[in-house]
Amino acid sequence: MAASKALMLAVGVVVVAGCAVGLSGATDHIVGANRGWNPNINYSSWSANQTFYAGDLISFRYQKGTHNVFKVNETGYDNCTMDGVTGNWTSGKDFIPLPRPGRYFFICGNGFCQSGMKVAITVGIFDLGPEIYPPPAPGADNPSTSASFTAGAWPAAAAVVTALGAAAILVI
């Protein structure tokens, strides 16, 4: 009896943890938004407007065969070279995971880096504090940010926890 209760509790904890992870949500940061990955776009402006957290994705949309994506280090980014290259993508719709906090540098390897096809981002540790209930930006309406998504998700997670708790009490 005690063992089965312990098992049920363990299952509940796993389910709750799974929901929390799923709901807190990895954001897919689409480089350049609807302008995609193309020459003559200021990607510093784009990245300045994004908040990246470990576990998010960055994705590049471009004409396959015309452009590509190389992950380089800061030297490669600054100078449009392959210095520190650790990956390359060519599908035209590349989803690249950002598993760890830190700086990431991506360039186009077909000569278009000189035309601005380079992006540097800073990925932060996921912060449960201010992201759960961000202060409303006065007058601003910013749809589909990671903050607003998370803000909606956590009350749902709390409801799931409450429902599971009630179910567990009924079963026991």
Give the β-pairing of 28-30 and 57-61: parallel
Q: Is 75 in the site for ligand NAG (CB under 6 A)?
A: yes
Vertex 155, ends 152 and 156: CA angle to 5°?
A: 85
Beta carbon of residue 38, minimum distance to ligand NAG (angstroms, whole number): 14
**Comparison of 48 and 169: residue with beta carbon closer to ligand NAG:** 48
Size of the site for ligand NAG (CB under 6 A): 14
Q: Check residue 74 for interaction with ligand NAG (CB under 6 A).
A: yes
Query: What burial letters (b/e) apply to 20-49, b meaning 16+ CB within 10 Å?
Result: beebbebbebbbbeeebbbeebebeebbee
Residue 35 DSSP class: G
Residue 83 interacts with ligand NAG (CB under 6 A)?
yes
Q: Which stretch binds ligand NAG (CB under 6 A): 22-30, 51-59, 76-84, 128-136?
A: 76-84
Instruction: Report the interface residues with ligand NAG, using CB under 6 A.
Output: 42, 44-45, 48-49, 73-75, 78-79, 83-85, 88
